[in-house]
Structure 1
């Protein structure tokens, strides 16, 4: 029996029209579809492809055992996630051993802050794995603001809101253009770091970029509203131009 293949398929920032032709073709012909989600949720990646997956496809939701319930620094956090990824990888590998292909849904690009990377590292030497790249969420976010992110010699820095506040502020102060991801509960810390770096009033926040419920606003005008997980902060570069 010929072994099957695992496809890590990037779905782009949220609008199905922004998916690649290859991603669309793989999805519409899929026999097995896997995707990550929180317990009790449908999963953002799964929502993006509603109506695109064949009715007879077997779906495999991979439910995180933990997200924000315990701190990242707790050894139990890594232990639980490691066991989770090991189990998911073993299941996908078993399907390929039965000759089945599996499409794994990935929000944005599979190799950019995505959960699929943890499966990829566990499977890359044990199964046939192909990664289908896609438009990143940050690209969808800065496009939503209506202004270019970089000009001329601008340096772009991508940060995650989970970093310590001093580290955030220092890195912000030494860049021209900025993207901050993984905002969520870190919003107040990120705001303070932006103020320290002198970027606060240039910052935009984009919620659910390129999705039907997209919101784009200046961060300074967003007040203290709760920011969902799917938010990205953008600071545009002001570099050289003709």
Structure 2
């Protein structure tokens, strides 16, 4: 039977290479083919995290997003464009695997937590072997950066997306004890307003570039109201039962 290569979705953590797992480090350093997502014209954050780790002579496969913010998220064209992109990248990786080549796909954070690799995984499973290496998430690095425990006792932790309508954000914020808000960016003013309506704004902290160079931790009340960098997360700590 003809051998087939394996596609490895490798979580490389929140940004600091020291926070990568031993398995992720080994796979990256020994890979013959390394694929990574990036915005056109940019080196890509995932590639930057592993700078100096990729073996000499390894093939680098840049998967450049066709859109990021150019088309509104609610526009059907956005989903259609990205769907075509993921299908094209799936074909590229599948062709390598069918040629008996293993491929390491670099995944910021954890591959199965709001990551782009999930869209490749769903298209590759059942076609070629796929393995996933879990990793520390960006939100874990963010709450660690605050220097405070995130949850206590019976606290309910909710993770919500800043892209949601404000009414949905308010409802989620009111129902959670501890809260992580991701996809902040241009949604920061809406997130701030929702936290105010939920009565949680005074407890909120904005963490930018967690575990990376330029990391900042700022009470949300003191943060500027303009768009936040891509690597931004809003944290509201739980204050639950303690012995």
Which category describes the TM-score, using the shorter chain as reference length?
over 0.9
How much does 1:226 deviate?
A: 3.8
Kindly indicate whether residue 30 of structure 2 is the aligned counterpart of residue 13 of structure 1: no
CA contact (8 A) 2:188 2:225 kept: no
How much does 1:225 deviate?
A: 4.7
Q: Distance in 2 between matches of 1:56 and 1:220?
A: 49
Aligned positions, number: 242
List per-residue Cα deviations over 1:79-126 (Å, max 9, x = no partner).
Answer: 110110000000000001111000000000000000000000000110
Normalising by structure 2, report the TM-score. 0.98
List per-residue Cα deviations over 1:111-150 (Å, max 9, x = no partner).
Answer: 0000000000000110100000001110000000000000
Query: Which position in structure 1 is the counterpart of 2:190?
Result: 189
How much does 1:78 deviate?
A: 1.0
Q: Distance in 2 between matches of 1:100 and 1:180?
A: 38
Query: Which position in structure 1 is the counterpart of 2:125?
Result: 124
How much does 1:223 deviate?
A: 2.6
Query: Which position in structure 2 is the counterpart of 1:158?
Result: 159
How much does 1:224 deviate?
A: 2.7
SS of match in other structure, 2:167: helix
Q: Distance in 1 between matches of 2:37 and 2:227?
A: 24
SS of match in other structure, 1:120: helix
Query: Which position in structure 2 is the counterpart of 1:240?
Result: 241
Q: Distance in 1 between matches of 2:122 and 2:156?
A: 30
Q: Distance in 1 between matches of 2:6 and 2:214?
A: 34
Q: 1:73 to 1:116 in 2, by over 3 A?
A: same
SS of match in other structure, 2:189: helix
CA contact (8 A) 2:10 2:133 kept: yes
Q: Distance in 1 between matches of 2:146 and 2:29?
A: 32
Runs in 1 of length 4+ with deviation above 6 angstroms? Answer: none
Query: Which position in structure 2 is the counterpart of 1:100?
Result: 101
SS of match in other structure, 1:114: coil
How much does 1:186 deviate?
A: 0.5
Kindly indicate whether residue 230 of structure 2 is the aligned counterpart of residue 229 of structure 1: yes
Kindly indicate whether residue 175 of structure 2 is the aligned counterpart of residue 174 of structure 1: yes
Query: Which position in structure 2 is the counterpart of 1:58?
Result: 59
Q: Where does the alignment leave 5 or more consecutive residues of structure 2 unmatched?
A: none
Query: Which position in structure 2 is the counterpart of 1:200?
Result: 201
Computed over aligned residues only, the root mean square deviation of the Cα atoms, in angstroms, reads 0.8
